[in-house]
Structure 1
Amino acid sequence: MKPAKEADVGLDRDVFMRALIRELATSLESVVGLEEASGYISLVGQSVGSQLNESYTAALGLPRLGREQVADVLVDLKQRIKGDFYLISQDDEKIVLGSRSCPFAEKVLGRDSMCMMTSNVFGTIAAQNLGYARVELEETIARGHSGCRVVVHLTPDLDVDDEPGREYFGDRHATGSTGAAALPAGD
C-alpha cells in the first residue's frame, strides 16, 4: 500500500487557504447574499489594508506615502501574493492598475465578494496615505474577464452616488477625520 504522503493530490498550504476562503465566500453569499457577503469581506480587507499600510510605511521609514509610492506599494503587495498586478497609469486624479492573474487563482471565479479584498486593501492604503480613494473594479477575473482592471480614484466626485465603486476615507492624520471608513458609491 502506497503511503498518503506519496499520493498526488495537489494539496499544499496555498491551495488549502484559497479553497478555504472560496468556501467561506460561497457560504456567505448563499446565506446572506452577495451584497452582505461583500460587506463582511470588506471588513477583513480593511483590517488587512491597515496592517499592510503600517508594514510598508514602517519598512520604508515614512509616516505617509505619496501617490507614486502608493501605486508602487499596491503593485508590490499583489506581486508578493502571486497576483500579477501592474501599473497602467497614474496621475493626480487616479491610479489605474491591471492584473493578469488573481492571488486566489481559479478559486475566485464566480465569487465577486472575494474582490472586496482587493478593493478594501487598495482603498484603505490609498485613503490612509492620500486622504481619499474610490475603488472601481472595472473588470475582474471573478466576473469572467481575462484579467482585472482596477481604478483607484483619488479625488471625490460631486455626484459620487452616480459613480461605481466604493469610497474610502483616510484617518485623522491624513484628512482631519477620526477614523478610516469604507462606503459604497453608487455600485
Structure 2
Amino acid sequence: MDCYVEAGAAHALPALRRELVTYLRRHGDPGSDFDAAELLIGEAVGNAVRHTAGPAWVSLHWRDQLPLLTVHDLGPGFDPASLGNAVEPAPDPDADPFDSLAESGRGLMIMRALAPTLTSRARTGEGMVVSVSLPVTRPPSVSHDPPMRRAGALPLPEESLPQGGFGKESFLRALVVQLAQTIEVQHGQDAADAAVAQVGTDVGGRMLEEFRLAQAVTGRMSPEEIGRCYVRLKHAIDGGFRVVEATEERIVLVNDRCPFGEAVRQAPSLCRMTSSVFGGIAARNSDEGATVLLEERIALGDVGCRVVVELSVTREDADPATHYYATPVEG
C-alpha cells in the first residue's frame, strides 16, 4: 500500500491510520498486537507530517515475516532524537490520543519500545526516511502440494482457444467439476453432496428472485410457473430441460444436455446442484416441503436426465430415496 500525504494535512492522519490498520487486521493473525501497530503507525506518520514543512510518502509492504512501514519525509527533514527531548505540554482531554503522544515527546521512546525494528536515515537531498516493522504476523497456514493428475483433469486440450489459453466458460466449468471431484475424493461422497447442495440452495434463491422480478410474479407460484422458472434458469446455462408434467402434486422434467457436458460423469455429486436448486424453489412455494428424485442421470451413464419434484410433502412422508427440502421459516 502506498499513499501520499500533503504538507500540513494532519487532519488526514486518522483516516490513513484506520485504513492501514484495517489492512493489517484483514491479513494478520487475530492474535497479533494490532493496538501496538496502530500506535507505531500514528507515531511514524504523525512525526513526519507535524515536525516537517514538507509532504510525506507512506508505504506499507508485507514481503517478509513482519509488515514494514516506511515513511519518506519529502520536506527539510527533522532529527528523530530531538523528539525525545521535547518538553511535555499539559494534556488536552479532547485531543486524539495519537496526537497527544506525538506532541508529548514520548513518541520516539514508545516507538523503540513497541517496534521489532526501527531505523532512520537521511534522504539524498532533503528529508528523512523512517522504517519501522510492525508486530503483526500472518495467520499460520497448512501447506498443500498435491501431485498433478496426469489423466482426467479439465479443461480438455481440445477446449483451448485458437489464440491460445482457455476461455472463461471452459475454465469455470473445469473449476467447478474439479472442486466437486476433489471434495469427493478427499472427504467422501456425503461431503461433496453437502457442499454442492449448499451452493445450489444459495444460487437457486437468487435465480428465483430474478425470475420473479423478470416475470412480474408475486405471491406463491403455481406448478406451471415453477416449471417455467426451472426451464428458464437451466436454458440460461445451456441445459436442455423441459417440463413433461406439472400438476398440484408434482413437476416432472427431462433433460438431454447437461450444462457441465460429459465432464459431469467425473463428478456425479454435481447433480445435487440441480436437486437443491429445484427443491429449494419448490419448497419456497409450498406449505410443507418438497422432495426431488433424480430418477435418471447423465452423470451415471443414462442418455438423459429425468427429475421428479414432489410438491407439498412432509418430512415424515418423504421417500428415503429422495432429497427433502423444508419450507423456509419466515423470520
TM-score (norm 1): 0.83
Q: In structure 1, how many angstroms separate the alpha carbons of the residues matched to 2:238 and 2:175?
A: 17
Q: In structure 2, how many angstroms separate the alpha carbons of the residues matched to 1:94 and 1:6?
A: 46
**What is the match of residue 80 of structure 1?**
236
**What is the match of residue 103 of structure 1?**
259
CA apart distance, 1:155: 2.9
- Number of residue pairs matched by the alignment: 170
The one of 219, 222, 232 equivalent to 1:66 is 222
Q: In structure 2, how many angstroms separate the alpha carbons of the residues matched to 1:66 and 1:88?
A: 15
Q: In structure 2, how many angstroms separate the alpha carbons of the residues matched to 1:8 and 1:98?
A: 36
SS in 2 for 1:130: coil
SS in 2 for 1:142: helix
Matches within 5 A, 1:36-47: 36-47=191-202
**What is the match of residue 92 of structure 1?**
248
TM-score (norm 2): 0.48
Letter aligned with residue 154 of structure 1: L
Unaligned regions of 5+ residues in structure 2, if any? 1-159
Question: Which structure would you say has the larger RCO, counting Cα contacts within 8 Å and 6 or more residues apart?
Answer: 1
Q: In structure 2, how many angstroms separate the alpha carbons of the residues matched to 1:135 and 1:127?
A: 10
2:331 equivalent to 1:169: no
**What is the match of residue 303 of structure 2?**
146
* Identical columns (%): 36
SS in 2 for 1:82: coil
CA apart distance, 1:130: 2.7
- Rg larger for: 2
| Cα displacement string for residues 110-147 of structure 1 (whole angstroms, at most 9, x for unaligned residues) | 42210011001111111112342101101111111111
The verdict on how the C-alpha distance between 1:23 and 1:157 changes in structure 2, with shifts beyond 3 A counting, is: same
The verdict on how the C-alpha distance between 1:91 and 1:26 changes in structure 2, with shifts beyond 3 A counting, is: same
Q: In structure 1, how many angstroms separate the alpha carbons of the residues matched to 2:161 and 2:192?
A: 36
Higher helix share: 1
CA apart distance, 1:157: 6.0
Q: In structure 1, how many angstroms separate the alpha carbons of the residues matched to 2:162 and 2:240?
A: 31
CA contact (8 A) 1:110 1:143 kept: no
The one of 172, 187, 205 equivalent to 1:32 is 187
The verdict on how the C-alpha distance between 1:161 and 1:77 changes in structure 2, with shifts beyond 3 A counting, is: closer
The verdict on how the C-alpha distance between 1:137 and 1:59 changes in structure 2, with shifts beyond 3 A counting, is: same
Unaligned regions of 5+ residues in structure 1, if any? 172-176, 180-187
2:315 equivalent to 1:126: no
SS in 2 for 1:155: strand
CA contact (8 A) 2:315 2:326 kept: no
CA contact (8 A) 1:119 1:137 kept: yes
